Amino acid sequence: MIILGIETTCDETGAAVVERTGEAQGRILSNVILSQINEHAAFGGVVPEIAARAHVEALDHIISKAMAAANMRFSELDGVAAAAGPGLIGGVIVGLTTAKAIALTHNKPLMAINHLEAHALTARLTDATPFPYCLFLASGGHTQILGVRGVGDYLKLGGTVDDAIGEAFDKTAKLLGLGYPGGPQVEKEATRGDGNRFTLPRPMIGRDDANFSLSGLKTALRIEAEKVAPLSDQDVADLCASFQQAVVDVVTDRLRTGLRLFRERVGTPSALVCAGGVAANQAIRKVLHRVAFEIGTTLVAPPPALCTDNGAMIAWAGAERLALGLADPLDFVPRARWPLEEVTKAEPEEVLAE
């Protein structure tokens, strides 16, 4: 089964062709991505209107490139998938409308994919990870701990009540005059800083739920920075290291709790899986390994290019859904907000024979 996938929910324009060869088995035939980072960097964050316009300009070309690299014609596809939310609605409309046009013109099934579901299922494409597994999704827009029980069957075990972790890294970088996106810059500074110099809070640690809160940490960091301003290079490095250490401590505690909840509500996980740009952070990745080891499981970390937003994950999610007979109508409405719990799953009689 060969699927074209389109991703336009944030600041990456992505198109990819993926072949599903069997249960949790697939191969990426092409994966083309165009990042808009340069267009947003001057504003210190993603500007929705600029993002939507950039998707309009780039998408046709990116799709042509993905089809050519896979050596495919539209007529040879088994279906077309696009991220239909959650995300910046202008971009989502661009991607979904384009997918609908291709599906209509070539008489192919359309899969309107939840972007979070695509992140959640990537580990099956990259590592053939069997259900159920525990997913830690941490990006610029999302921070969630999920029980992934099956396609369309997700249990939210925890999430942020305010900022996403990546957003907190980005805001920290902006406050300290580092570039956008902030995560890699803060991580780089932290390597030469003293993580114990500034006393920062560890919000939510010890709570029974697996939720996160990052906005207090960011405020505390600003207060500490104001106390020592003007900031020397060493001050900046020490602030970054102290911030990152606080995040690492929070992630460790929240994931331990999330995995306990997973055992209570779902059972034994086949793996701890991470996704999202934040998983590129080496200090965070180290504790993910440790926490997985503690409960006798392993960490599955897809390669960074597939952890961050891309078209291949959308195509794969489309393939997983089409294999279960879960295509969507051409009048599917794009959704700025779309919690994973609202994603549909196959009813037993809908499941097609393999």
Chain residues that interact with ligand KG4, rule: CB under 6 A: 10, 139-141, 166-167, 169-170, 181-184, 187, 276-278, 280-281, 308-309
184 binds, among ligand KG4, Zn ion, none (CB under 5 to 8 A by kind): ligand KG4
Q: Which is nearer to ligand KG4, 118 or 261 (CB)?
A: 118
Q: Which residue minimizes CB distance to Zn ion?
A: 309
46 binds, among ligand KG4, Zn ion, none (CB under 5 to 8 A by kind): none
For Zn ion, the binding residues in 39-78 under the rule CB under 5 A are none
Q: Does 7 bind Zn ion (CB under 5 A)?
A: no
CB of 304 to ligand KG4, least distance (A): 8
Q: Which is nearer to Zn ion, 70 or 113 (CB)?
A: 113
112 binds, among ligand KG4, Zn ion, none (CB under 5 to 8 A by kind): none
CB of 70 to Zn ion, least distance (A): 23
Distance between CA atoms of residues 280 and 315, nearest Å:
22
CB of 165 to ligand KG4, least distance (A): 7
95 binds, among ligand KG4, Zn ion, none (CB under 5 to 8 A by kind): none
Contact code string over 12-31 relative to Zn ion, x by CB under 5 A:
--------------------
Q: Which is nearer to ligand KG4, 139 or 160 (CB)?
A: 139
Contact code string over 290-329 relative to Zn ion, x by CB under 5 A:
-------------------x--------------------
Catalog residues that contact Zn ion under the rule CB under 5 A: 139, 309
